[in-house]
Amino acid sequence: MIKLFLLAGVATASLLTGCATEGTRAPEPTYETVAKSEFVATNYGAADALISQFGSGAGGGPLIIATVVNIDALNKSSTLGRLISEHISARFSQRGFSMVEMKFGSNVYMRQGEGELVLTREIAEVARVNKAQAVILGSYGVGGSSVYVNMKIVQPGSNYVVAAYDFVLPNNNEIRSMLSRAVR
């Protein structure tokens, strides 16, 4: 009889547990939980690494940043690429660099919804018009569990890479959400 009660109790507990997990959802994010996101800090770290290689910018003139693009489709980006570019630009500004805000410019290759895409052959002209000392470029590639990002600072005219940094983002739900909002 005791075995029967134990068996009935275990069966009831299993059913209730199954019902509870099936209907529950992840809690809504709060300001506290999203403040712990490492996405912005990772992008700022990449900018800091580029700055340490590039120096104080004593060469004079502002910098331009192009939208970080998909390595497999260099004329396409996504929310992820645009946000990385925004964070890198913000960090350079915080560190005292003058950044040209390309959203107001008309002398750059722009594709609606893509952001500021700068093709290699146009870097010299865009930099000349904006009197920029360098252009920050980047690309990302999506792997199974990671997104690999490459950032470079390029001297216009010579196209010499004067600073470069690679970093990796987890290909988690947050990143996949930003990747899925690619504009064609």
Query: What is the predicted pLDDT for the residue at 15?
Result: 47
Element (H, E) at 93: helix 79-94
The architecture CATH gives domain 38-179: 3-Layer(aba) Sandwich (3.40)
Low-confidence residues of the chain, pLDDT below 70?
1-23, 57-59, 103-124, 182-184
Q: What angle do CA 79, 115, 130 make, to 5 degrees?
A: 140
Contacts of 151 (CB under 8 A, 6+ apart): 46, 50, 68, 88, 136, 137, 138, 164, 165, 166, 167
